[in-house]
Amino acid sequence: MKKEKMFYGWWVVLGCVLITTTMVPSVMSMANKFLIPFTTEMGVSRGAFTFSNTILQIMGIFLAPFVTKKLAKGNIRRMQSISIIVFALAYASYGLVQNVYQHYAI
């Protein structure tokens, strides 16, 4: 009897789930950690600060079809590595904003 191997695509899905379950909660908790200091320093409401999460969700919904099309045609490992680096740099750049509109743009 031949032992069947698990389909490679399921390993990719598992890897993506692991990345998502480790990255997203830490990012969300860090965003919440800086909620009060950021809103106090910038003089904006908490709703104005958390509006950036709404912007991120809208962009994710809008860009998802384009991203998945690219992922289907390209080197997934390289794209994930580049995406993680860009994500980390973009998130770190929040420390450089001077007003809430820069926060939204990033």
Q: What is the pLDDT of residues 84-94, one digit of tens each?
A: 898 889 888 87
* Token reading at 45: 């409401």
C-alpha to C-alpha distance for 73 and 66, rounded to whole angstroms: 11
Reported as a single tens digit per residue, the pLDDT across 14-45 is 988 888 888 778 777 777 787 888 888 888 88
Whole-number percent of the chain with pLDDT over 90: 1
- Torsion 43-47-53-55 (CA) sign: negative
Chain mean position to CA 15: 15
Q: Write out the two tokens for 73.
A: 């045609």
